[in-house]
Amino acid sequence: CTGKGWISPQNSFQLPHNGVLEVEELRELREQPTDPQVEQEIIDSIEEVYFSSDSFDTVQYELEKLPPDLNLLELEEYRDKLKRQQAAVSKRVADLILEKQPSYVKVSSLHKCFNSAFRQLRSAKEGFTEASLGLLANQRRRQLLTGLLKSLRTIKTLQRTDVRLSEMLEEEDYPGAIQLCLECQKAASTFKHYNCISELNSKLQDTLEQIEEQLDVALSKTCKHFDVSHYTKVQLAYKLLGKTQTAMDQLHMHFTQAIHNTVFQVVLGYVELCAGNADTKFQKMPYKDLCTHITTDSYIPCLTDLCKALWEVMLSYHLTMQWHDDAEGSDESTVGRSYVKKKLEHGLTRIWQEVQLKVKAYLLGTDVSNFKYDDFIVVLDVISRLMQVGEEFCGSKSELLQESIKRQSVNYFKNYHRTRLEELRMFLENETWELCPVKSNFSIAQLHEFRFMGQCRSPSVSPSRQPESTEPVELCLFEQYLQGGNPFEMQIDNKEEETEDVLASNGYESDELEKSVYQDYDSDSDVPEELKQDYVDEQTGDGPVKSVSRETLRSRKRSDYNAPILTNTTLNVIRLVGKYMQMMNILKPIAFDVIHCVSQLFDYYLYAVYTFFGRNDMYESSGLGLISSRLRTTLSRIQESLIDMVSPHASPEERKEKVPRPHLSQLVILTSSDTLYGLAERVVATESLVFLAEQFEFLQPHLDTTMPSAKKPFLQQFYSQTVSTASELRKPIYWIVAAKAIDYEQMLLLMVGVKWDIKEIMSQHNVYVDVLLKEFEKFNQRLGDVSKIVRIPLPVSNVLWEHCIRLANRTLVEGYANVKKCSNEGRALMQLDFQQFLMKLEKLTDLRPIPDKEFVETYIKVYYLTENDMEQFIKNHREYSMKQLTNLVNVCLGSHINKKARQKLLAAIDDIDRPKR
C-alpha cells in the first residue's frame, strides 16, 4: 500500500508463471537511472480510477475514451505517456518487493495453500448444489400457490363488486361507481381465462349501461335546480366514460323537456283546482288547449307561477354555462371545450324560443279585454319582466312575446278606452261644474298615476310599484337572484301607498293634522251632511272626491285662492291620462294607439265644454271673430271623428268607435242674471280645460319620447291644432255672458230719443251714457260676487271686460248709425258722450287700451270727410256694417254732396265683398 492506495499486481505487471520474480530482473529495474521527483510526478498523473478495484478493465476504459476522429500523432503521444506511467509503477513495485522479499516468500507459500483449498472447495460445492436445487423447486411451488390464492381473492372481490356499485349509485357517487366499474373490467380482462370471470365481464358491461341511464336522470335534475357539486359529479362521470359531448346533446334535450313539463304541470294544477273535480280529461289535453281553461281569477296567479318556474329553468341553464366557463382551464381537449361552448351558446336562443312559445300560448288562451286596469297592469308587468329576462338571457328582443302581448293589449285597450269614454260622458253629464278644492301647490306629479315619471323604472315593474332606487347601477336579474329569490315574486296583494294629499283643507290646514287625500273635512256643524259622505267611482275604483258647496268654498284659506281651477271630472281625466301613459311606458309597441286615445279624452272634454257653454247662433252676426278658423276646424274634426250624431248613413262599426254628444246637467242653470248667467260654472269649466291643456303641454316631451318616429307628426298636430286652442274657447264662452250682462238694447232705445241736429255745442253729456255706466258698475259688482265663489283669473276678467266694452262700443256705433239727422254740433255731442263714457269706464277696469275705442272715434269723425275720402274710407273699413256705412253717406254727407255722388258711394258699399267675420 503506497501513494495512491492499493496497487493490484494485474494492473502493474504480469507475474512469471512460477509466481517468483527473478532477483536479477528486479535489480535491473531498480538500477535504471531515474529522478525520484520526476518518477513521483508521473505516478501522481495516473488517473484515480486505475486504483479503484481489481475488476476495473483498463483496456475497455481506454478504448471508450478514444475520440470519434482518430489522429495518429496524438495516439502515439498518448501511448508513450501510458508507457512512462507503467514503467514508473513497475519500478516502484520492484523497489517494494526487494525491500520486502522475506514476506514475498511467505506469500508464495500461501498461494500454494490457497490453490489446494480451492480444489477441495470445488468438490464440496458440487455436493451442495444438488440439495440447493431441491430447495429452490419447493420455493417456486410455494410462490405459484401464493399467486393463485391472490387471484382467487381478487376474483372473489370482483364478484362482490356489484353490491358496492349499488351503494355508490344510491349515494350518487357516479364518478366513483364508473371508476370502480372500469377498474373491475380491467382486472377482469387479466383473469378472462377463468370461466366465472367471462360471465362477470358481461355483468359489468350491463352495470355500466345501467349507470349511464341513472347518470342521464341525474343530468336531467340539473335543469330545474342547479347544484354545483351535483353537476360537477355528473360531468366528471361523463368525462370518465369519454362522453362529454353526448352529455351536452342530452342536456339540451332535457332542458326542452323540462320547460314543457314545467308549464304543463303549473297550468294543469290551476285548471284542475278551479274545475274542482277529479276529471282526468285535462291531463290528456294538449298544453295549448289546456290554457283556454284557465279562469279569469286564476289567470294572474297562474301566469306568475308559470314565470317563476320558467325562471328556475333559465337560471339553471345560466349557472350551467357559468360552470363550463369556470371549468375552461381544465385539461379537457380544446376541441371538446369548443364543442361544449358552441352547443351551450346555440342552446340559449333555442331555450328562450321554447319559453316564449309556451308563454305566448298561455297569454292568448284567455280574453283579457275585460280585466280590471290594475290586473292588466300586473299582466304587463310580468311579461315585461319576462322580456327583461330574455334580454339578459340571450340578448333577445322577444318578438313572440311582444307580438302576443301587443295583440292582447290592443284588444284590452280598445275595450278599456271605449268604457272610459262612456264614463267620461257620464261624468260630464253629471258634472255641476263646481270647484274641486285642491291646494295651491297642486301638481299632477303628486298623483300616484304619474309617479313613474320621476323614477328610472325597470321595464318590468309597474310605475305604481317601483321602489325609490338608491343603487346607482342596477344589477342584472341573474346577478340579483343568483343566491335565491325570484324576480316574479310580486307583491300583488299589497295596497297601493296613499296618494299625496292634493285637496284643500278648507281653512283648517296644519302640520299637526296631516290630511289624507280624500279626507272628511274638519267640519263644523255648518258643513252640510251630504258633504261628509264619500263618493267612490265603482267603475275605476277611484277614491271619493267631495262635492263642495259655495258656502264651504268661501271659507277656504286665502292661500288656496290661487289654486288651480279644476273639477272632479278634470281630475279623473288627468288620472286616466296617467294610467294610459303607464300602459304606454310598459307597452311601447302600442304607444301610438294609446296616445291617439289620450288625444280623444282631451278632444271630448274640449268638445263638451264648447257644447255646454260656447254654442251660440249670434256669433256670426256679431262680427267680432270670436271663433278662429283653427278652433272651428278643430271642433269640426272632433265632431266628425268622435261624436256619434246618430247619422242614418253610419255603419254599426263606425258608431262603435264614437261617443254620443254630451248634454249639460239640468242642475246647471245658465239663464239667471243673478249669477251672471252661470259665470261661476263657465269659469270652472273653461279654466279647467285650460288647466288640462297646460298639463298636456307638461306631458308632451314624455309622450314624444314614447311615440314612434313615423307617428310623431300626429302628436305635433294634436298639440298645435287642438291643445293650443283650449284658451281660445274663452272668447265664445265669456262672450255669451258679456252679451247678456249689460242691457245694450235699453241703451239703443235711449239713444233713439236723443236730438243730434242741435245748433249749439253742449257741455253736458246725454243720460244714456250714465245708464250704460250704471250697467257696467252693476256688472263689476256681480263679477266681485262671483269671484267669492270661484277665483276669476286675470285673462278671464280681461276677456269679459273686453267683450262688454266692445259690445258697448259697437252698440254706440249702431246707435249713431240710427240717427236720421245730425249737425256738426251733434257730432261734437257724440264725442262728448263717448269721452265721458271712457273716463268713467277707465276707473272701473284696468284693461288698457280700451278695446274698439278707435272703432267709435273713427265713425264719429267720418262726418268731416270729403266725397273722395269717403269712397276710400268705404273700401278700407270693412269692419263697419253696410247699414252703418250707408248711414254715413246719407246723414253725414247728405247735406254736402249731390244725389249722383251719393248714389256712387252707395253703389261702392254694395259692391264690397264682405267676408264673414
Backbone angles phi, psi at 503, to 5 degrees: -90, 145
Which three-class secondary structure state does DSSP give residue 644?
Answer: strand
pTM score of the predicted model: 0.65
Model confidence at 310: pLDDT above 90: yes
- Lowest-pLDDT range of 429-433, 705-709, 756-760, 889-893: 889-893
428 near 608, Cβ under 8 Å? yes
Residue ranges with strand state E in 87-184: none
List all residues 6 or more positions away from 81 whose beta carbon is below 8 Å from its beta carbon.
none
Residue range 342-355: mean pLDDT, rounded:
90
669 near 551, Cβ under 8 Å? no
Percentage of residues in the chain having pLDDT higher than 90? 34
**pLDDT tens, 200-214?**
667 777 777 778 788
Write the DSSP assignment of 231-246 as a string of letters.
Answer: HHHHHHHHHHHT-HHH
Write the DSSP assignment of 772-820 as a string of letters.
Answer: HHHHHHHHHHHHHHHHHHS---HHHHHHHHHHHHHHHHHHHHHHHHT-S
Rounded Cα–Cα distance for residues 382 and 459 (Å): 10
Q: How high is the pLDDT of residue 274?
A: 83
- Lowest-pLDDT range of 225-234, 566-575, 692-701: 225-234
Q: How high is the pLDDT of residue 766?
A: 93
Rounded Cα–Cα distance for residues 495 and 622 (Å): 57
Q: How high is the pLDDT of residue 537?
A: 40
- Find, among 152, 207, 144, the residue nearest to 180 by Cα: 207
Residue range 427-453: mean pLDDT, rounded:
89
Rounded Cα–Cα distance for residues 645 and 435 (Å): 30
Residue reference for cell 311615440: 707
Q: Which residues on neighbouring strands pair with residue 503, listed in sequence order?
A: 438
Q: How high is the pLDDT of residue 621?
A: 54
List all residues 6 or more positions away from 507 whose beta carbon is below 8 Å from its beta carbon.
555, 556, 557
pLDDT-based confidence at residue 524 (cuts at 50, 70, 90):
very low
Residue range 260-274: mean pLDDT, rounded:
91
pLDDT-based confidence at residue 680 (cuts at 50, 70, 90):
very high
Model confidence at 421: pLDDT above 90: yes
CATH class belonging to 742-857: mainly alpha
- Find, among 581, 576, 541, the residue nearest to 424 by Cα: 576
- The per-residue pLDDT of the chain, averaged, comes to 79
31 near 123, Cβ under 8 Å? no
- Lowest-pLDDT range of 98-102, 728-732, 854-858: 98-102
Tell whether omega for the bond before 589 is within 30 degrees of 0, i.e. cis.
no
Name the DSSP class of 15. Answer: P
Q: Which residues on neighbouring strands pair with residue 851, listed in sequence order?
A: none
Model confidence at 544: pLDDT above 90: no
CATH code 1.20.58 region(s) in the chain: 742-857
Rounded Cα–Cα distance for residues 359 and 352 (Å): 11
Model confidence at 126: pLDDT above 90: no
**pLDDT tens, 629-648?**
899 999 999 999 999 877 55
Which three-class secondary structure state does DSSP give residue 848?
Answer: coil
pLDDT-based confidence at residue 536 (cuts at 50, 70, 90):
very low
**pLDDT tens, 351-401?**
999 999 999 999 999 998 889 988 988 998 899 899 999 998 889 888 999
pLDDT-based confidence at residue 84 (cuts at 50, 70, 90):
confident
Model confidence at 534: pLDDT above 50: no
Q: How high is the pLDDT of residue 153?
A: 67
Rounded Cα–Cα distance for residues 125 and 134 (Å): 15
Q: Which amino acid is at 300?
A: I
The segment with the largest mean pLDDT, out of 30-39, 675-684, 899-908, is 675-684
248, HSE (Cβ side, Cα atoms, 13 Å): 20
Hey, what's the cell of 792? Answer: 276669476
Rounded Cα–Cα distance for residues 215 and 217 (Å): 5
- Find, among 864, 624, 577, the residue nearest to 739 by Cα: 624
**pLDDT tens, 584-616?**
887 777 889 899 999 999 999 999 999 999 877
Q: Which amino acid is at 372?
A: K
β-strands 659-660, 643-644: how paired? parallel
- Residue 410 or residue 456, greater confidence: 410
**pLDDT tens, 486-521?**
888 865 444 444 445 666 654 333 333 333 333 333
* CA distances (Å), origin 12, targets 1, 87, 103, 589, 713: 13, 9, 19, 111, 121
Residue range 777-784: mean pLDDT, rounded:
94
- Find, among 354, 359, 431, the residue nearest to 394 by Cα: 354
Q: How high is the pLDDT of residue 609?
A: 95
Return the percent helix, strand and coil in the chain, to nearest 5.
70, 0, 30
Q: Which residues on neighbouring strands pair with residue 659, listed in sequence order?
A: 643
Residue range 284-296: mean pLDDT, rounded:
91
Q: How high is the pLDDT of residue 329?
A: 61
* CA distances (Å), origin 315, targets 34, 278, 389: 100, 34, 10
